[in-house]
Amino acid sequence: MEHPAEKEDIKKLLLVPVIKKYFDPEYLPLMERAAWLGNDETHYERKHPDYDIKDLKTVISYVIADLDNKKKRAAIIAGMQPKK
């Protein structure tokens, strides 16, 4: 878990402020859309009626893949250093 010292503060925030504060800005556009579609699944009136739960799952899978790739890249770079 990242930011364990801020766990209780994070719990009190809405999703989009957490995204904006704790994730790289490059992820914001896709994560915001996941939040929008997730909200559509929980509210009576949809703001994005052309999208459904299938689209939400797709967006979430892209976000997870991006975050996973970032973590893997960092591990490779940290573990594979130039030989002297």
pLDDT at 4: 85
CA dist., res. 9 & res. 36, Å (int): 22
pLDDT at 78: 94
Whether pTM > 0.85 for this model: the answer is: no
User: Mean pLDDT of residues grouped by 10 in the chain (84 residues)?
Assistant: 86 92 92 94 93 96 95 94 87
pLDDT at 39: 93
Q: Residue 6: name the closest of 18, 24, 14, 16 by CA.
A: 18
CA dist., res. 82 & res. 64, Å (int): 30
pLDDT at 37: 95
Extents of the domains making up the chain: 4-79
